[in-house]
Amino acid sequence: ENLIQELKTEGIIENNILLAISKVPREIFVKKKFIQRAYENIPLPIDCGQTISQPYVVAYMSASLNLKKTDKVLEIGTGTGYQTAILSHLCQEVCTIEIYSNLLHKAKKRITQLNLKNIVFKLGNGTEGWQNKALFDAIIISAASEIIPAKLLENLKSQGRLIMPKKKPSGNQKLLLVKKNNKTYLEKELLDVKFVPLLNKNVE
């Protein structure tokens, strides 16, 4: 309740987002030693040197995509599965890619525990996109990159939206919202963020 209140104070007013966050128990996504801090509005460390994002950033990124119940969403960087679970309450289907098998395995277990049925998992290199030239209404990348991976832009429908933390030459990161209009892309910078780097290498 306090977290929801804090998110509202910080400007998250979309009811569908607040409802999704209230439905997903963050404590099952954090390490046991951080359970007391599960509902603080902070990022927390997880396995493989990664982090679970701050709830405000999860809410803000989800809200920026302006999701409809009929949307199909691609998530790059499953991590703990927390963002995945929230997205599952906001759209028709979530396809999620994780490069670390250890993280993917644990995320699957948590999602099963929550009985969420509209999620498809894949172990792989997220920069390669989803196979079969599948098209998505929205793409969310939970790791920072200096460039927008071209394969992911190919996975985006016309009028689709992509959100990601973009790394600047200065080392700072800005959330970038990209809207695809046929062959053109409209980019808009949002707030300053701090994410782990997007890995582009062979799968762990």
Residues forming the active site: 53
Q: Is 70 helix (H, G, I), strand (E, B) or coil?
A: coil
Count of all residues that appear for the chain in the document = 204
Pairing relation of β-strands 119-123 and 173-181?
unpaired
- In a 13 Å sphere around the CA of 48, the CA atoms on its Cβ side amount to 20
Environment class of 52 (CB within 10 Å of its CB; exposed 0-12, middle 13-18, buried 19+): buried
Residue 129 tokens read as 């996109």
- In a 13 Å sphere around the CA of 118, the CA atoms on its Cβ side amount to 16
Return d(Cα 47, Cα 105) in angstroms, integer: 12
Q: Is 87 helix (H, G, I), strand (E, B) or coil?
A: helix
DSSP, residue by residue, 152-166? HHHTEEEEEEEEEEE
Return d(Cα 98, Cα 93) in angstroms, integer: 16
